[in-house]
Chains A and B, each alone.
Chain A
Amino acid sequence: KQEVTQIPAALSVPEGENLVLNCSFTDSAIYNLQWFRQDPGKGLTSLLLIQSSQREQTSGRLNASLDKSSGRSTLYIAASQPGDSATYLCAVRTRGTGNQFYFGTGTSLTVIP
């Protein structure tokens, strides 16, 4: 069964710093990987979707990379802002029964003004 891990569980950085969030997965037979943002008590907001054939995707200050063979993805956030404070989750859509999405437990990010 696919297992998705996100390290660190929590991260605190000063405003303006560039940062990297990590996501690793055990089964490389994936269709895609999706990064989400979740604010407290809210649903998930999609940030970036990377297909298994792609190496990276960019949206504004966000850049996500995917190394399927090593089972890793990173989310790079440039010039962090207090409004970036949230929990960031990754999910992989895995080949097999039901082609399910498997989620990591998330990284809680705090950007200090």
Chain B
Amino acid sequence: DGGITQSPKYLFRKEGQNVTLSCEQNLNHDAMYWYRQDPGQGLRLIYYSQIVNDFQKGDIAEGYSVSREKKESFPLTVTSAQKNPTAFYLCASTLAGGVTNEQFFGPGTRLTVL
């Protein structure tokens, strides 16, 4: 089955630690996205990548970093510089080559700072 997988489902971080969230897709999509979801707020874009080895900052990129070494993978690192990282993180993808394409989402990772 084609789709997007995220791991782990739950992640706990101690103060001062960096953690990496995994996102993998087998949809052959070119574009991938990371969003953060907080209670009572809409999804906010952290980073996106439209092609391998290229990515752009979204609205709330501070304290996060990404890489895009392979088409199917787009890991997100939450660094110690992110002061309030407790949230639900969602990865998404679309076919590139146009702006009319549907966005698909993974199941999410819930990050909690201890």
**Chains A and B come from one and the same complex:** yes
Point out residues on A near B: beta carbons under 8 Å.
Answer: 4, 31-32, 34, 36, 41-46, 49, 51, 89, 91, 93, 95, 98-106
Q: What's the Cα separation between A105 and B38 when bound, in Å?
A: 10
A46 B103 Cβ-Cβ under 8 A: yes
Q: What's the Cα separation between A49 and B110 when bound, in Å?
A: 27
B71-114 vs A, CB cutoff 8 Å, 1 = contact: the mask equals: 00000000000000000101010000001101111111010000
Chain A interface, DSSP helix/strand/loop, else mixed = strand
When C-beta atoms are compared, the residue in chain A nearest to B4 turns out to be A43
Q: What's the Cα separation between A49 and B95 when bound, in Å?
A: 14
Q: What's the Cα separation between A44 and B108 when bound, in Å?
A: 9
* Chain B residues, CB < 8 A from A103: 35, 42-44
CB of B2 within 8 Å of the partner chain: no
Known A-B contacts A4-B42, A100-B58; the reply to A43 vs B90 at CB < 8 A is: yes
9 A-B pairs (CB sep. < 8 Å): A31-B100, A34-B102, A89-B42, A89-B43, A99-B99, A101-B45, A103-B44, A105-B40, A105-B42
State which size class the interface on B falls in.
20 to 34
When C-beta atoms are compared, the residue in chain A nearest to B41 turns out to be A105
* Chain A residues, CB < 8 A from B88: 41
- Besides A43-B90, A89-B43, 11 more A-B contacts (Cβ < 8 Å) are A41-B88, A43-B6, A43-B107, A43-B108, A46-B103, A46-B105, A101-B33, A102-B42, A104-B42, A105-B41, A106-B42
